[in-house]
Structure formats: structure tokens, C-alpha cells
Amino acid sequence: MTHRGSCHCGRIAFEVDGEPQGVISCNCSICQRKGSLMWFVPRDQLRLLTPEENASTYTFNKHVIKHRFCPSCGMHPYGEGTDPKGNRMAAINIRCLEDIDLASVQVTPFDGRSK
């Protein structure tokens, strides 16, 4: 299944293939503040519908994850990085997807604060 998502103002819009069977709620310093629920997919399952340069990038700590956000409305719809095997991944904030029933998705806590 293909899901559509965006930031609040629509400057960043995308499609992502797959079904979120479960998501991560991380307690690291940025995720806790954003309140993101992250669904990890191979990067090629994420297709931007707007120019990549519409998104700004924030990195911190080890600078391995590109936290992508909208400079207009401030939403954080996705992030980019690599998994431990070096595969390109995207972390989709399912709160930015149009057609997701949040109550139906299993949320797993992740202790990013300790990593």
C-alpha cells in the first residue's frame, strides 16, 4: 500500500510504500521533544513529491541521522540515515501520514537517551 504524507503547510510532501506494523517512540533529546512516532523503511520506499531542497536538515550528537524538517511550518515528517549494515533507511513520522489510524499501530518504546 502507498501512503501519502506531508508537513503541515505542504512544502514537503511524499509517498511511502508499505504498512507500518509497528513504530518506535524514542526518548532521545530530539524525538522526545518532537513527539514523533517513527516507522523505519528502506530509503527507496520513500518518494518525495516536492523538491528535496524544500526540507531543511538538522543533525546532532554523532551526526549520522539527517532529521528533515520544514523551515516554514516546523514539522519533522521524516529522517534519513543508514542501518547497522549500511543500508539507506528512512524514518517516517507516521503522525505526518494522511490516512493512518494512530490507535491501531503498535508503539514500541526505544531508549535512545542511553545510546
Tens digits of pLDDT across the chain (115 residues)? 999 999 999 999 999 999 998 899 999 888 889 999 999 999 999 999 999 999 999 998 888 889 999 999 999 999 999 999 999 999 999 999 998 999 999 999 998 888 7
**How do strand 13-17 and strand 46-48 relate by DSSP bridges?**
antiparallel
Q: Which domains are present in the chain?
A: 2-114 (2.170.150.70)
Query: Whole-model pTM?
Result: 0.92
Q: How many CB atoms lie within 10 A of CB 102?
A: 11
Q: What is the rounded CA–CA span in Å between residue 39 and residue 28?
A: 16
